[in-house]
Amino acid sequence: MSRDESTRPEDNLGLVHLCANRFRGRGIEYDDLYGAGCMGLVKASRAFDASRGVKFSTYAVPVILGEIKRLFRDGGTVKVSRSLKELSLKITRASQTFAHKNGREPTVSELSDITGADPDDVIEALNASQPTVSLTIGDEDGESQTDLPTEPPDEDITDRLALRQVLSELSADDRKLIDLRYFKGMTQTAAAEKLGMTQVQVSRREKKLLTYMRTKLI
Question: What's the rounded Cα separation, in Å, for the pair 113 and 126?
Answer: 15
What is the C-alpha to C-alpha distance for residues 33 and 21, in angstroms, rounded to an integer? 8
Q: What are the mean pLDDT values of the chain's consecutive 10-residue runs (218 residues total)?
A: 66 86 82 86 86 85 88 64 74 83 81 83 65 41 43 53 74 88 83 90 87 70
Name the 3-class secondary structure at 81: coil
**Amino acid 197: pLDDT:** 92
> What DSSP line would sit under 15-47, residue for residue?
HHHHHHHTTTTSSS-HHHHHHHHHHHHHHHHHH
So what's the pLDDT on residue 132? 34
pLDDT of residue 218: 53
**Model confidence, pTM:** 0.43
- The pLDDT assigned to 103 comes to 82
Q: CA 30 from chain center: how many Å?
A: 15
Q: Residue 54: its pLDDT value, please?
A: 81
Q: What is the pLDDT of residue 145?
A: 43
CA geometry: angle 200, 206, 209, nearest 5 deg: 145
Number of alpha carbons in the 13 Å side-chain half-sphere of residue 35: 20
Q: What integer pLDDT is reported at residue 29 of this predicted model?
A: 82
**Domains of the chain, with CATH numbers?**
1-154 (no CATH), 170-217 (1.10.10)
> How confident is the model at residue 157, as a pLDDT?
56
Residue 159: the pLDDT is 63
Q: What is the pLDDT of residue 87?
A: 80
Decide: helix, strand or coil at residue 147.
coil
